[in-house]
Structure 1
Amino acid sequence: MPRIQIDIAKPSRREEARRITGHNELRVIFPNTPLAVRDALRTTMGGLQHLQLTEDEAGTVELVLAEVMNNIVEHALAGREDGMVELQISHGPSGLRCCAYDDGIAMPGNRYPVTSPPQPDVPLLDQAEGGFGWFLIRTLAEDLEYIRENGRNCLKFRLAVGRNLRAS
């Protein structure tokens, strides 16, 4: 079974004020296998349960994270046995801020793909590669940003969910 590292950040005194106003951080590190993605997704969703997201919000989070993590494993880290994926999620008043890191190959043109939406009259197998997944990510995520720095990929985005929660 793949090893998954989970870190729920404990804030320092200086960060305590941020935590009290609703900022929490979850960090999950896992190897680049489809099974590890599934386990990491289950672990991540469990780590976000305290936010009491609605069913629709949880579905949005799960869908976007699954697309992002599977893209990393299938494309950036394809064919590598040593690759690791790191997912960092923090919660605040604007929702969930997410960062997915890997040391795989860069995205073509050093930017995330901008594709057309799926065509409803075209059979699923004939749809353009990457079109539907990236369409979902771009539609459901906000503040999407891709950075390639020091041999690492970083995809940052925000999911506008859990915004009406008060810190306990």
Structure 2
Amino acid sequence: MLPAPDQAGTAGGLHLVFLASPLAVRNSLAQMLAAPALRSLSPDARGTVELVLAEVLNNVTEHAYDGRPGPVAVTLVPVAAGIHCLVVDQGLVMPGGTLPEGNPPDLGTPLETLPEGGFGWHMIRSLTRDLAYVRTGGSNRVSFLLPLDA
């Protein structure tokens, strides 16, 4: 069982627990962006945080839970270098037990012929630091730092 939500968070951070679904992800992202930990960021930094969290959470919804609802816990903690993020779910293990590398888009390919998928993890890797994945106790744990100096 995932930990209960702590709407106030600790040390200026935020901890949310919700069921993975497209609507819940959208609502939770709005709640995260309104929290003190993210509300005070510059518009560019908030945009980056929103983009990365949306991609990670949509991957959990679409792939870890295969479109079925399941619990997701997100913890955001401000640190000197940025925002430390931890996303925990009880969905399927990552293929091969590791994070996908992701593929950079081929900018020479016409948009209508680009393959579906594979770009999200490349984007996540390029916008975060210290990206890590571990499967423990039936849970997936993805952690990363969203640097504020990028």
TM superposition score normalised by structure 1: 0.79
1:54 corresponds to which residue? Answer: 42
Task: Please list, as runs of the form range in 1=range in 2, the aligned pairs for 1:140-159 lying within 5 A after superposition.
Answer: 140-159=127-146
Q: How has the CA–CA distance of structure 1 residues 45 and 91 changed in structure 2, closer, same or farther, with 3 Å as cutoff?
A: same
Q: Which has the larger radius of gyration?
A: 1
Q: Secondary structure at the match of 2:7?
A: strand
Alignment partner of 2:91 out of 83, 92, 104 = 104
Is 1:132 aligned with 2:114? no
Distance (whole Å) between structure 2 residues aligned to residue 72 and residue 53 of structure 1? 25
Is 1:65 aligned with 2:50? no
Distance (whole Å) between structure 2 residues aligned to residue 50 and residue 115 of structure 1? 27
1:7 corresponds to which residue? Answer: 7
Note the C-alpha offset of 1:132: 1.5
Q: Secondary structure at the match of 1:8?
A: coil
RMSD, aligned CA: 1.9
For structure 2, the residue ranges without an aligned partner over 5 or more in a row are: none
> Once the two structures are superposed, what CA deviation does each residue of 1:43-89 show, in whole Å capped at 9, x if it has no partner?
000014665211110100000000000000000011423x1111001
For these two proteins, the number of residue pairs brought into alignment is 145
Question: In the alignment, residue 40 of structure 1 is paired with which amino acid?
Answer: S
For structure 1, the residue ranges without an aligned partner over 5 or more in a row are: 11-18, 163-168
Note the C-alpha offset of 1:153: 0.2
Is 1:121 aligned with 2:113? no
